[in-house]
Each structure stands twice: as C-alpha cells, then as structure tokens.
Amino acid sequence: MAQVQVELRHVTKKFTTKTLGDIVAVDDFSFQVYEGECFSILGPSGCGKTTCLRMIAGFEDLTEGEIYLSGRPVSSSKANLYVPPEERDLGMVFQAFAVWPHMTVFENVAFPLRIRKVNRAEVERRVKQALQHTSLAGLEDVYPSDLSGGQQQRIALARAIVTKPKVMLLDEPLSNLDPHLRETMRFELKELQRKLGFTIIFVTHDQSEAMAISDRMLVADMGKIMQIDTPENLYNRPINRFVHSFLGESTFLKVVIKDGQVYAEGDLEQPLGVAPPPDAEPEMILATRPNAIEITGDTGYQSRIETRIFLTDRTEYLIPLGSQKVKVQTPHRIAFSQGDSCRVRFVDPMWYPVEDSDAEKERARRQLI
Amino acid sequence: MSYVRFENVSFAYGDNQILKNFSLALEKNEIMCLVGPSGCGKTTLVRCLLGLNRPSEGEIYVGDTCVFSSKRRINVPAERRRIGIVFQDYAVWPHLTVKENIAYPLRKRKVPKPEIDRRVEEVLRLVRMSEYINHLPSQLSGGQQQRVAIARALMTSDDLVVMDEPITNLDAKLREQMLYEIRELQHNMGTTVFYITHDQRAALQLGDRIAIMDPQGELVQVGSDEDIILRPRTRFVFEFIGVTNFLALKRVDGQYRVDLGSTLAPWPAQVPPELQNVAVLDVGIRPNDIVFDSSSPFRGVVRRAVFLGSEYEYFVQAGDKSLRIQQGALDASLNGIAAEGSEVGLNFLNPQYYEAAREEGAR
Amino acid sequence: MINLRRKTRDLAVLDGRRRVGLDSIMTALSFVLLLVIVVTPISMIVYHAFFHQGQFSLDLIIDQFTRDTTVSAMWNTIKIAILVTIFGTIVGVFYAWLLGRSNIPGKKLMRFLFTIPYMFPPFLGAMAWDLLLNGRSGYLNRWLMKTFGLSSAPFNINTVWGIVFVELSYYFPFVFMQVVSALERMDPTLEESARIAGAKQGTVIWKITLPLVRPAISSGALLILISSLAHFGVPSILGFSQGIFTLPTRIYAVIARSGGSFEGIRQGAALSILLVAVVALALWIQQRVLRSGGYDIIKGKSMRPTVINLRGARIPLFILALTTLVVIVLVPLGMIFLVALVRAYGLPLIPANFTLANYQRIFTASGTLESIKNSMILSLSAGVITMLLGTMVAYVVQKIRPRGSSVLEIMSVLPYSIPGTVLAIGVILAWSGSLGLNLYNTLWIILVAYIARYLSFSMKTSSAALLQVHPSLEEAARTCGASHTESLRDITLPLIRPAMVSGFFLIFLPAMREVTTSVLLYGPYTRTLGVQIYSLRDAGMMPQASALGSVAIVLIIVVNSIVNALNQTRKGV
C-alpha cells in the first residue's frame, strides 16, 4: 500500500490584480501524490499549475485549504501555518535552471549541504555521488557558463538530489532544451527516480512530454481540476472536450442522433454506422483521434478522399462527412489517392455535449496574467 | 514555361563557397518550397534573387527579364526588380501605419493617390485586415504583422512573392492557420510563391513542388510531396524528412544479412532486383513502417516503451543496433502493445534501399 | 534564417552606377571631421609636451612632474577619487538594495530625489556647501558655534574630506542606477533555488544576490572613479582657498597664473599628460575588471522579483534613507535660493534680510545676460551639430562598415576618456593660430571643444538606436522600390529620430551648465553661464552668484520638464 507523500486538501488561491480584477488562480484543488510516483500537473498557461507548484514549494501562501508533506502540514489557511521554503526539505528544478553562475559546479551542488553544516568530507562524498548520478563527474571545477544547456540542467538536478529529498518539484524543467535533448533528459530523469526512489511532481504545458513521463497526470483548466488519471486513461477516456483536445490531436464531429442511429450533420440519409452512447442527446459531439479512424474498402460510411498530403511521418487525408470534413492520418505505406472512394469507420469514440464558447474567452483572459 | 530561372548561380563569402552552380526553375502560378537545413544557403539564394547579394557567376531570370548575368554584366538594382518579399521577422516598419506600410511600394512607383487607396483596400480585404488599416504595428499581434508583410509583398508584385521562413516566429497553432491562409491566398491570386524554410512539415503541407537542398548547398531533389516521401532519391532526402532508422545490409552467400555489429541477422524483406548485385546496401525504414511480427526471423528486445498518446514509441535492441519503432494507437488497441524487456519479432514494410556510398574510414 | 554576419556593404554596392555614392561621401566626411575635431587637439598636446621648438625634449615633462605642487596634486587627485569611489559605492549599493529589493515605503519619492543630482552642476552644490560649512564664515558653522558655545567651527568643508563628501553626493547615483537595474532584472529563481536548498533570507542575500550584482557594482564604481579623477568643479570651489589642488585644478591654476601665456599653456599640456596617464590607468583597470565577469542573470518571462520584508526595521530605515537624501540633495538647493535672496552675505537668513535686488542686479548687468545668451547659443549649436555628426559616424561605422571603420570608432569615443580640462588645452594649442586658424577668445573655440567633448555621447546613443534598426527594415524598403538614399530618409531616420532627440538633450543640458572646459577658453565677451557664476563668486559677490546659480537651476528644471513631457507624448517605436 503506497504511502501518500504530498496531499492538497481544498487548496484555493485568489489574486487581486490591478488591471483584471480578482482572479481565482487555483480553485479547490484536492489530490494526493503517492510515494515514488511521477505525477504531472498539465494545462495551458493560466490554468493554475505553476501557482499550485509554488504553493507546495512555499513561495506562495494559500487563500484556503491545507498542504501536507509526508503527513506533516506545511501550509494551512485556517491554522495560519506557513512553513518557509527553506524548511520544507524539498528538491526543486526550475525552468531556466537557476544555476548560480558565480559558483563552480561543485560549489553549486555542495550549497544545500553546506547550509546544513555537513562536514567537509561528507560533502565531498555526497557531491561526487550526485555528480555521478547526473553524468557530470569530472566537471567539478567548471563554471556553468562554460557548459551547455543540458549540462546546466543536470547541475540543477544534481543540486536538487544531493540532500536526498523525498519529493522533487520540477517546473517546466525541459522546455528550454532542444527537442533531442529533451527526450534524453526525460529518460535520465526516470532512471534517476528509479534509482533513488523520490516522488516527482512535474509541471508542464507540453502534453506529449507529460504523457511520456508520468505515472499519473492531473489536467487543469482555468484553475479547476479537470481529470486525474493515468496517461492512457486520460488519452483514451478523456472526461470532457477540453481534456480530449488538450491531449494529442482530436477530431470532433457534430452529429445528429435520431431513432437510435447516428448521422453526420448535413447528411441525414446515410448513418455513420457507429452505436450511439447510452444517454444520447439529439445533438452531440463525436470525438476521436485522426489516427483512430479506419479507412477501409468495405465497411463504414461511404465517402471519398478529398485531399491528401504527405507529411513527414504520416499521410493526412481530408474526408467529407455530411457538411463537415474529418482529418484522418495513416502511415505512408497506406496510400489512397485523391478522389478515391472509401469507407470510414470510427473505432470506440467518445461523446460530449455541444459546448459553449465563453470558456475560450475566460481562458484567454487568464493568459494575460 | 518556367517563370523564374536560376542558372549555375555561384556565391562565395570570403573562403566560404555557399552556392556552387546552383540551378532551379519555378513554374508560373505554383508554390515552390525550398527546404534545407539551417545554413545551407537558401537565404543566400533568395538574396541573390532579390538583388541584395551579388553572385559571382551565373544568371537569374524573372519572366522574360534577365535580372542578373555575370557574363553579360547585367545586375538590375534591388529597387527595380519588382519582387515581393516577406521576411522572417516581418520587417514591418514600426513608425508607419498598416496603410502606409502597404502603400509604400506604390508610392515609390508614383502611382496616383486614389489608385493607391483602392488597391490598398483591396489587398487588405484579401488578407482579412481591413479593420486595422490605420493601426500601428505595435498594436498588432505577430500573426497580424505577418499578414501586413504579405499584403505589402503583394503590392510590390502580385506575380512573384518570396517568403523566407515567414511563420517560424509564430506559435504552433497560428502557424497552421497561416499556412492555410497562404495557400488560400495563392489559389485566389495565382501568384507564383517561392517559399523558403527548414521546416519540412510546412514545406510538404504548402508546396506544389518541393526542392531539397543539402548542407553543402546542392539541390538534391525537386518534386511533389509524393515524390519526396515515396521515392526519395538520396539517403540525405530520406533522412532529412522525418525520423528514420538505417541498417547496413551485407551480401553473404547470395543472401542479404543485416550487420548488427557483433552479429548478422536475416533480412526478412525483399531487396529489389536492380540492386541485387551490390555487396553492401544501406536500408532506411520509417519508425511506423516497422511492425511486430512474431513469425519473423529478425528478433530484438524491447528496451523502452513510451506512451506518446497518438502512438507508442519503442526502442528495440537488435545486436548492437537500436531501432526506433512507432505503433499507432489504432494498431495498439487492436493488436496489443509490447512490454519493456520482452523479446519480439520485427517485420519491415516499405523499406528504402540505397547503395552504400561510403568507403572505409570516410564520413 | 537571416545571416546576421553578411556584409551590409553589399547594400551600398547595389547602387549599380559607378559614380560616387552617398556612402562614400559620408565615410570621407566622417574621417575628415573626426581628424580635425578630435585628433588634432589631442596630437597638439602630445606634441607640445614632448617637443620644444621642433626638437624632442623631455625637459618640460621632467620639470613639471617633479615639482612638489604636481606631486601633491596628483596624490590628492588619486586619494579623493578612491575615497569618493569607496563611499559612493557603499551609499549607492545601500540605496539600490533598499529600493530594488525591500518593502520600504516612499520609493517613488526617493527615486525622484535621485534624479536631481544628475541635473545640477556639482560646482553649484560645492558653492552651497561652502556657504554652509565654510571654515570661517559658513552659515551652519556660525549657528552651531553660537548655539553650542563652540570656540571654533566644528565642520570645515574646505578639506579633502569636504571635497569627497560633495563629490560623492553627486556621483553615488552612478552605482545606484546600475545596481538597482541589475536587481530588478535579476531572475528571481536564482534566489528561490537557494531558499529551497535551505538558505535563510540573510544567507541568500550574502551568498547569492550580492555576488551576482558584483559586475554592476564594479561598473558603477569605476564610472565614479574615472569621473572623479577628471573632475574640476568641486575641488576648484572648495580647495583653492586652502591651497588644496587636484591635477585638473592645478592645470587651471598654472594657466590662469601665467595669464594665458604660451609657456603656461605648455606647462598645462605637460601636466595633462600626467592626468591622462592616471585616467588611462583607471580605464585599463575598468577593462580588466569588466571583462572578467558579466553574469547572464536577466529573467525571461516577466516575473515578480522577490521582495524582502523589513518588518521592524522598515520605518527606521525609511527615516534614515529619506533624511540622508534630503541632506545631500535638497539642502544645497535650498541654500542657493536662500542666499540669492539675502541682502548681503553673512547676514542671518531671515525674511527681514531678504530682497530681490540681487536678481535685479544680475539681470541688468550686461555680463550676465550675455553669458546666458552665450550658453544658450553654444549648447544649442553643440547639441545639433554633435548629434548630426555623431549619427553620421555611427551610421558609417555600423551600416556601411568601410575599411578602417574601427579607426573611426576609436576616434569618436576617444574624447570620452580625456578630461575636459585637457581637451580645452588641446583646443587652445590647435586653434590659436599655430595651424593657421585663430579662434581664441571667440565662441567658436568653445564650440569646437564642446563638439569634441560630447561627440562620444551622441555616438553611443545613435549607435544603440541604429542597432535596433534591423537591416531587414532597410532591405524591405529597397525591395519595395526605394533607392538607398530613399530608404535612409523614409525608414532609418524616422526610426532613430527619438534617439537623436534624446541625444540632443543629453548634450544640451550638460553643455548649458558646464564650467570645466569653458573656464579655460573664455574671453572677455565669451563667458558662459558657468563661468559667469564663477566670476561673480571670485569677486566676492556671493548673493549675486547664488542668484545666477538659482536662475541656472530653474532653467535646467524647465528644459528637463520639456524633455520629459516630450518623452511621454512620443509615439512608441
């Protein structure tokens, strides 16, 4: 039975800004992170993820709620409790690395130990060990400005793990690295976690990165938690339209449901051949992924290939369904030609109500903060 | 009849030979995308076309006019070449309004004012910026400034417009939208567009034809997206467009074996007849053209399995080689996924074969 | 990708036609003008210091360098400069940290007070402090002696420490500006990561914040050092009566005492070499120190910087900071205005003794009105000419990049490191007839000196502005059908115009109030405002000198407000 390492109970944070009035950056966040987990908080800018992380770190206080680390309360609005960051025993890696340019690699990594008055021999041993873990052995006396971005990120990582914290907070740590390096660092991070056994809370806006690295993810939008689950479940069974479109590419089709049959809007003659959901409304949104739509020769809705483009790693087809067009993606080797007739089949789609557009405006407003 | 012609254009910057005998022809009314890695010389070529750089040799024609010829000592100054340009950083003049920016080329040509007003309004409607006519660039977003740059380019010439990495500075969503708008605009106006980029995806989406330049500034292939993707002429083209895996094949006792470093493995696919005499071949395969097939003689071990949402990505070790495999979400839900550490059989669909051009020690 | 290193010379070469283009004209003009205005005066100093009647001779140098007066002047110069630098840096860092990092109240007020020292000539401040704390007759001294029954004056501003005090009150903003800007732009996660690592607030400041702003502190401190070494105004007001000389004031004394004779000027030239050597040493130190450490600490996204809560110390520190500022900045200002109103110097500063007669007298005296007129003409012309010249040179160096443009660049920033006193001597040697042109005792000679002195200012402003004008903006104009000249006129000039305007004022204001250069170059009818205030004071007419000083202050405030108003209303670029 895994222990709860980090817990938030009904945490809320309100900001009063001069230009935009009151903003509830984080609205009633409650979740638990288990020991040894890699837990991501994912969402667009303005969704509250960074504020949430800063509250866990202790850089922001709470308007309401409580935060617990390893069972001990560190922030509580009703008890007026606020443990400062230097006493929370966390490790943290920032987006811009925050590696101190006036200190060598060794001095950077040794800093947390020296603050804790660890004796010199022990400091040496533990710093060398941390540098080994992060592939920086031999670079002790180098200054950060002489190293690449990836190496600077590793310094930040080494500095964060040297005190053997139970919880590591990572604030968009990989977004300043180039794509190839990002992938390598992701893998190294997971290896490090496996070896040292700490819990990770990882904040990012990059959904593919979150999915690649996480055991469980929290998707947030406009200060509210949308869904918490494993990446596979979030991707395959998103709870609403926002989560669906935020994770990976989405294809949305407006459909009309009549007499137990599903029709594409604009074509009420030919049914789509997919079973309607149990609690169907007359109008709904059918949601699926462009590469989860099968183009077959024999079963499904009859249509034709309207356009075809070859992209770098897939072929993209545009196929009209009723008055709309759906995007379908296949590997290159499955080649249809423009104008070919074909049949389209939806494999296990999701269903959502028809949404309003005010959500978009609110999202845009929050991004200004 | 080709509309723009580069004939044996050469350009050097000090000791650095950037372009050497470069030749390319653009057809009228087409979108031609020139793609190549950063620093390969594409921008230099564009600047030669515009008259901002002077080639050391060669000839450049626009329509029937020769704008540059080293032999005949012709070099039409930049201000008289009448080619529209959209720069990467938009180069929209911050001290002039949208209207003044767009009207500038016509002012330089001494077009009468009522005519200028009319044409400015017309082009603003085309780029959907009519309501911003008196705005200053500082009041516009990146995407809007880009549209102003496009409108201004169209004012200089609606026959030929060059775009140098115009969407690189925009965010992902806006980039898609701009590509779509550029295509629509071109369809409506029939302008010949010469689009320069390092982004292969944008080039494939936009271009009627695509020209690929290698890092040495050589033109390696010109063709439609289908040509580039399905029939890449050289290994560079195949590698440049998208992620690839490469394996070396050796002909041993009449059969092709895969060189996995310490071992040789059977090659389950068919080598095309015209290459069957070659001793060593390079074969390239895309990650999503490698599938799991328990009956295949080619075996490997799954080192890493990563869920990326729309696909699963695997790193499979075979001998000393690591292969990158992608399995689409549809396939995964129908056929299951491969677990980390498991031993699998692999089959290779749609491989591309190339003669191994290298010798021992070279490259 | 746009290759930023391509030769933009190609742009000019494209003019196609073979005849002389705009670029060649600008380049040639730049070389010629810089040669005449900058190189000639400097070469003349070197020549006359080392050559006598055509023969190379070190006699003059040796003679001057070994004199007691020279050695003590040099010693004073160095001592004062170092003290001003040390204390000015401490004060500057203190205020920078208070305003940039703490939650002290009244930040806006204090920042406003900081802008005042920039506006006023230090010599006026020296005058005011002299009026207050003069060893014999200072107002404050006499009040203190009377109130506390002291037999001698408790403070004496006419000492080395007095000079240090007044100079540092004008120079500490150099460090303040640099450090407060560094603190505000610093990436807050650098400090946050230290806190997560377990460091308390105090440790973070000591081990992280301060070391990271060290480059800003050094650069500000060295600016103070160099300015103090070359400074004339304060030591001249406070030091002469007690025989305390620095190199710049010594040079002046040597020339003034000889009545402007050639021999006196030669001696001044020799001493100038010494002064320039000292300044050069300081500049060399500046290069070494600044080269070895700029940290890239600027934040990317706009993040709020960490603010440190002062808690109990908040109000006491606020009182201390505000009081110090008031003393340093407002007291001298007030003094000038009060003494301007008093009937005779020495009378108590009570309303019964106030009169407007001093103002009446200075405005009717032809000398005063003429000096105001002279300063206006000189500052306006110097501002306009220097701005145009500086812009042209900046354009040639940055955009045209001909062969030898590095020489041009060096020539244009050279005068920055030459003290105003030295430049004046060079101008006298060059343009008093020995080269065929005699401008001595005319406004022209002062103008030429001003242009040489302030050229580097406009070069720097225009260079920075031109850097912002990306080559693609001009190229876009070319492809739209504009010739090179047209693209300059339509695109480049309008874009750098705001910088040119602020460049103009950057020269106009200092020129209006300066005294260091014109005190060596003025003739009977070519006094500047600064020189006139000086003369009135020399003649013992304190109230009138103060009155004119107050007029100068008002004038500067008015012009400054116009500048600020213009800045607000300008269209954003």
Q: How far is CA A301 from CA A271, A282, A286, C424, in A?
A: 7, 20, 15, 92
Q: Which residue has the tokens 């030239």?
A: C269
Mind listing the pLDDT tens digit for each residue in A1-34? 678 999 999 999 998 877 778 889 999 999 999 9
Q: Which residue of A has its CA nearest to B350?
A: A333
What is the structure's pLDDT at C4?
38
Q: What is the mean pLDDT of residues A124-150?
A: 92
Tokens of C334: 């007030």
In angstroms, the separation between the Cα of residue C190 and the nearest Cα of chain A is: 5
Q: Which residue of A has its CA nearest to C213?
A: A102
Q: Do the Cβ atoms of A231 and B309 come within 8 Å?
A: yes
Q: Which residue has the tokens 């998103």?
A: A238
In angstroms, the separation between the Cα of residue B22 and the nearest Cα of chain A is: 26
Q: Answer with the one of B214, B239, B264 that is the final residue of a domain.
A: B239
In angstroms, the separation between the Cα of residue C216 and the nearest Cα of chain A is: 14
For A319, which DSSP code?
Answer: E
**B/C interface, count of CB pairs below 8 Å:** 99
Give the global pTM.
Answer: 0.80
Angle at A220 between CA A217 and CA A225, to 5 degrees: 90
The DSSP bridge pattern shows strands A81-82 and A72-76 to be antiparallel
Instruction: Give the torsion sign (CA, B24, B30, B34, B35).
Output: negative
Q: Which residues contact C260 (CB under 8 A, 6 or more apart)?
A: none
Q: What is the mean pLDDT of residues A168-175?
A: 91
Using CB atoms, which residue from B225, B308, B309 is nearest to A310? B225
For all residues of chain A together, what is the average pLDDT? 89
Residues B221 and B255 in one domain: no
The highest-level CATH class for domain A249-352 is: mainly beta
Q: How far apart are CA A247 and CA A156, in angstroms?
A: 29
For C319, counting Cβ atoms within 10 Å of its Cβ (0-12 exposed, 13-18 middle, 19+ buried), the class is exposed
If one compares B231 and C17, the residue with the highest pLDDT of the two is B231
Q: What is the four-CA torsion angle of C115, C120, C124, C128, rounded to 10 degrees?
A: -20
pLDDT in tens, chain C (573 residues): 333 334 444 444 444 444 467 788 888 999 999 998 888 998 998 888 888 877 888 888 888 888 888 899 999 999 999 999 999 999 999 889 888 888 888 888 888 887 777 777 888 889 999 988 887 778 888 888 888 888 777 888 888 999 999 999 989 988 998 898 888 888 888 999 999 999 998 899 889 988 888 888 988 898 899 889 999 999 999 998 888 999 999 999 998 888 878 888 888 888 998 898 888 888 888 777 766 656 666 665 555 666 777 777 888 888 888 888 888 888 888 888 888 888 888 787 778 888 888 888 888 887 888 999 999 999 999 999 999 999 999 998 888 888 888 888 888 878 877 888 999 999 998 988 778 788 888 899 999 999 998 988 888 889 888 988 888 999 999 999 998 889 989 999 999 988 888 888 889 988 988 999 999 999 888 999 999 999 888 888 888 999 999 998 888 888 888 877 877 765 443
Read off φ and ψ for residue A32, nearest 5 degrees.
-125, 145
Q: Which residue of A has its CA nearest to B349?
A: A333
Q: Name all chains with 3 or more CB-CB pairs below 8 Å to chain A.
A: B, C
Q: Name all chains with 3 or more CB-CB pairs below 8 Å to chain C.
A: A, B
Residues B186 and B267 in one domain: no
Q: How many domains does chain B have?
A: 2
Query: Is B67:B51 a contact under the CB 8 Å cutoff?
Result: yes
- Taking every pair of Cα atoms in chain B, the longest distance, rounded to a whole number of angstroms, is 81
Instruction: Give the torsion sign (CA, C205, C208, C213, C214).
Output: positive
Q: Which residue of B has its CA nearest to C486?
A: B108
Query: Is A246:A218 a contact under the CB 8 Å cutoff?
Result: no
Read off φ and ψ for residue C467, nearest 5 degrees.
-60, -35
A103-118 burial, b if ≥16 CB within 10 A, otherwise e?
Answer: bbbbbbbbbbbbbeeb
Residues B44 and B167 in one domain: yes
Q: Which residues contact A35 (CB under 8 A, 6 or more apart)?
A: A2, A3, A4, A5, A166, A199
Mind listing the pLDDT tens digit for each residue in B149-160? 999 999 999 899
Q: What ranges do the domains of chain A cover?
A: 4-241, 249-352
If one compares B204 and A180, the residue with the highest pLDDT of the two is B204
Using CB atoms, which residue from A289, A291, A313 is nearest to B286? A313
What is the structure's pLDDT at A333?
81
- DSSP letters, C271-329, are HHHHHHHHHHHHHHHHHHHHHT-----B-SS--PPP-B--GGGHHHHHHHHHHHHIIII
Q: Which residue of C has its CA nearest to B199?
A: C1
Which of the residues C192, C196, C204 would you substitute to probe the A interface, choosing the one with the greatest number of A C-beta atoms within 10 Å? C196
- DSSP letters, B300-331, are EEEEEEEE-SSEEEEEEEETTEEEEEEEEHHH
Give the total residue count for chain A.
369
Mind listing the pLDDT tens digit for each residue in B44-81? 999 999 999 999 999 999 999 999 999 999 999 999 99
What is the structure's pLDDT at C529?
92
Is residue B281 situated within a structural domain?
Answer: yes
Q: Please state at what angle helix C160-185 crosses helix C122-133, rounded to 10 degrees.
A: 130
Q: Name all chains with 3 or more CB-CB pairs below 8 Å to chain B.
A: A, C
- Chain A hits for B306, CB-CB cut-off 8 Å, are 212
- Strand arrangement, sheet containing B219-223: B84-86, B160-164, B192-197, B31-35, B209-213, B219-223
For residue B233, give the H/E element and its range. Answer: none
Residues B158 and B247 in one domain: no
Q: How far apart are CA C233 and CA C122, in angstroms?
A: 6
B225-236 burial, b if ≥16 CB within 10 A, otherwise e?
Answer: bbbbbbebeebb
Q: How far apart are CA B99 and CA C94, in angstroms?
A: 51
Give the total residue count for chain B.
363
Query: Is C439:C41 a contact under the CB 8 Å cutoff?
Result: no
- Chain C hits for A112, CB-CB cut-off 8 Å, are 197-198
How distant is the alpha carbon of residue A176 from its chain centre? 16
Tokens of A160: 């964060």
Which of the residues A17, A86, A87 would you substitute to probe the C interface, choosing the one with the greatest number of C C-beta atoms within 10 Å? A86
Mind listing the pLDDT tens digit for each residue in B166-195? 988 887 778 888 898 899 999 988 999 999
For all residues of chain B together, what is the average pLDDT? 89
Read off φ and ψ for residue C424, nearest 5 degrees.
-60, -45
Q: What is the mean pLDDT of residues A175-187?
A: 84
Residues B232 and B263 in one domain: no
Region of B39 (left: φ > 0; alpha: ψ -120 to 50; beta: rest) is: left
Angle at C12 between CA C9 and CA C16, to 5 degrees: 130
Query: Is A292:A347 a contact under the CB 8 Å cutoff?
Result: yes
The DSSP bridge pattern shows strands B2-13 and B160-164 to be unpaired
Tokens of C489: 């006129």
What is the structure's pLDDT at C8?
41
Is residue B261 situated within a structural domain?
Answer: yes
Q: Which residues contact A117 (CB under 8 A, 6 or more apart)?
A: none
Q: What ranges do the domains of chain C cover?
A: 22-57+371-516
What is the structure's pLDDT at C17?
44
Q: Which residue of B has its CA nearest to C481?
A: B79
Mind listing the pLDDT tens digit for each residue in B259-303? 888 888 888 888 888 888 888 888 999 998 899 988 998 999 999
What is the structure's pLDDT at A363?
65
Domain residues for the domain of B298 are: 243-355
CATH, residue B150: 3.40.50.300
Q: How far apart are CA C450 and CA C520, in angstroms?
A: 12
Q: Chain A residues contacting C, CB < 8 Å?
A: 57, 59, 84-92, 94-96, 98, 100-102, 111-112, 115-116, 145, 156, 159-160, 163
Q: Which residue of A has its CA nearest to B227?
A: A310
Q: What is the mean pLDDT of residues B90-96?
A: 93
In angstroms, the separation between the Cα of residue C306 and the nearest Cα of chain A is: 10
**A/B interface, count of CB pairs below 8 Å:** 77
Is residue B114 situated within a structural domain?
Answer: yes
Tokens of B50: 């515009």
Q: How far apart are CA A3 and CA A33, in angstroms?
A: 9
CATH label, C22-57+371-516, candidates 3.40.630.30, 3.40.50.300, 3.30.300.30, 1.10.3720.10: 1.10.3720.10
In angstroms, the separation between the Cα of residue C546 and the nearest Cα of chain A is: 47
What is the structure's pLDDT at C2?
37
Mind listing the pLDDT tens digit for each residue in A198-216? 999 999 988 889 999 999 9
CATH, residue B299: 2.40.50.100
Q: How far apart are CA C333 and CA A14, in angstroms?
A: 48
In the CATH scheme, what is the code of domain A4-241? 3.40.50.300
- Chain C hits for A90, CB-CB cut-off 8 Å, are 196
Q: How far apart are CA C358 and CA C360, in angstroms?
A: 5
